[in-house]
Amino acid sequence: MAAAGDAFLRARGRALTAFRPVDEYQWKGPFYFIQGADPQFGLMKAWAVGDTNNGDDEWGEEIKLAEQAVQAVNKLNPKPKFFVLCGDLIHGMPGTPWRKDQEQDLKNVLKNTDQDIPLVFVSGNHDIGNTPTRETIDNYCKNWGDDYFSFWVGGVFFIVLNSQLYFDSSKCPELKQAQDVWLNEQLAVAEKHKCKHMIVFQHIPLFLRKPDEDHNYFNLEKSVRQEIMEKFHKAGPSSPESLLAEGRCHTGVSQGTFHTLGESVYPEAEPEVGLASNDGRKEERMGSQQSKRALRKKFPDSVLCQPACCTFPPSFPIVSLVPIPTNPPKMMCCLVPS
């Protein structure tokens, strides 16, 4: 078991120390993991007062929701392999006054996660800035571990990327170049080990619905996404099944969305979907029946709930997938066939 402080720094040397690759290269049967995104301590107050730049001086509600998430994760049996948070861990941007307190309060909640469930962190724009610098990335790494890294679990190859370097690397182009070189090396590793399944975690989605959709705040610019997708499509003769998991969008199915590198896992679902269960009861709010049916069809053995942290706007429930405790599916969030 790792000490509480070590739990936040398992990503070191571009690897995750929680798992030994030599023990994880081979497929060992179905398993599942937890994905969350955008706990963003401070957002709810900032949104409520209409000041997203300076109104984040309270985050009590986010603490309560995060505590509920950790409690729910700890009760799962069998245990998930890991718990990943896909960016925007806090709301305060680099250099803002409440940032350190938000980080500490989030750590105080997450340190109660079962120590047999490793925490995996992904950087978002609120963590390193919309235009990151070497300093903001270094500060992130001191608190949460490497900004990009890879690891194997049960024969599945997981890659964590720093998507802000694809969004705007103008102040640290050498770091973006280093990640590109590293990613090419990781795809060569996947080819060498004849990887069948590969899952990528990053904060900014490549796209929301279609690979050729127009660029907007919630996705990456077209030429950038095309370059990344081509890399994965050319990953090797073993043709691994690649899935992309993101955060950022806050509302609807894009919160914690999984894409194949061709179309959204939810191509038929509308963005305005909302199912929540904060207190053990299953509630249905603010979602079209079409969206709900689409999600149920994709994950018949799962329930939809709100383990995640903040909502955006505050009245809108975030969607995540959690297995029915008495009958866990093969995978939660992302199904990995044998």
Q: Per residue in 77-87, pLDDT tens?
A: 888 899 999 99
Q: CA 280, 284, 288 angle in degrees (round to 5)?
A: 155
Q: If you average pLDDT over residues 86-101, what whole number do you get?
A: 94
- pLDDT score, position 3: 52
Q: If you average pLDDT over residues 2-11, what whole number do you get?
A: 78
Instruction: State the amino acid at position 260 in one-letter form.
Output: T
pLDDT at residue 247 is higher than 50 = yes
> 248 falls in which pLDDT band (50, 70, 90)?
low
Q: Say how far residue 14 (Cα) sits from the centre of its chain.
A: 17
> 47 falls in which pLDDT band (50, 70, 90)?
confident
Q: What six digits make up the tokens of 67?
A: 């505590």
Instruction: Express each pLDDT in 141-190 by its tens digit.
Output: 999 999 999 999 988 899 999 999 999 999 999 999 999 999 999 999 88
- pLDDT score, position 13: 97
State percent of the chain over pLDDT 70: 68
pLDDT at residue 68 is higher than 60 = yes
> 205 falls in which pLDDT band (50, 70, 90)?
confident
Lowest mean pLDDT: which of 63-72, 115-124, 177-186, 289-298?
Answer: 289-298
Pick 157 or 252 by higher pLDDT. 157
Q: If you average pLDDT over residues 231-247, what whole number do you get?
A: 60
Instruction: Express each pLDDT in 14-32 by its tens digit.
Output: 999 999 999 999 887 788 8
Strand partners, 159: 150, 200
